[in-house]
Amino acid sequence: MGGKKIAKVIKYSGYEQRRADYESALVEVGAVLPVVIDKKKELLNTKMNRATKAIKIPWWNSIWPSREAYIVGGVRKLYEQTLRHLDDIKLYLESLTPVEAGKEAYKIAAEGGYYHPRLMEAMRKVNHAYNEMLKEMRKLGMV
């Protein structure tokens, strides 16, 4: 009876190692994405300031609102909405466990719009670890 248990542990040890590698790669993606979101927020703030300052608002805007002021307000509103969305994503990721946050971060980053060398490297690690885990699962007949 003891030999069967030891054989089973040995048989599944490769799978458990691959699964641990996969989860650690997911945790890395979950740790990198908030940093990428912060960088993206900084870039959006500078872009918003540059775009709103480029549109000249006349001095008499306080007396009679101008078309330029309306455009600046609309542009500012769009940028602020995007910034709030990024804040919501970041708060959502922080509320999850590290592995779940990694899975969600991977899904969010896979949809596009987030480009950073560390994030791309972490996503490559996740893909590689997932493929290795699948190979081990096929070897054990789990897939």
Full-model pTM: 0.81
Token couple for 113: 């719009």
Instruction: Please write the tens of the pLDDT for every residue from 99-120.
Output: 999 999 999 999 988 989 999 9
Question: What's the pLDDT at 60?
Answer: 80
How does residue 1 score in pLDDT terms, banded at 50, 70 and 90?
low
Instruction: Please give the pLDDT value at position 6.
Output: 77
pLDDT confidence of residue 56 = 83
Q: What is the pLDDT of residues 66-103, one digit of tens each?
A: 888 888 889 999 999 999 999 999 999 999 999 999 99
Cβ atoms of 26 and 126 closer than 8 Å: yes
Q: Which two tokens stand for residue 119?
A: 């994030």
pLDDT for position 142: 80
pLDDT value at residue 96: 94
* Inter-residue contact 33 to 93 (CB < 8 Å): yes
Query: What's the chain's average pLDDT?
Result: 90
What residue segments make up the domains of the chain, in order of their start? Answer: 9-140
Across 101-115, b (16+ Cβ under 10 Å) vs e yields: bbbbbbebbeeeebe
Cβ pair 143, 137 in contact under 8 A: yes
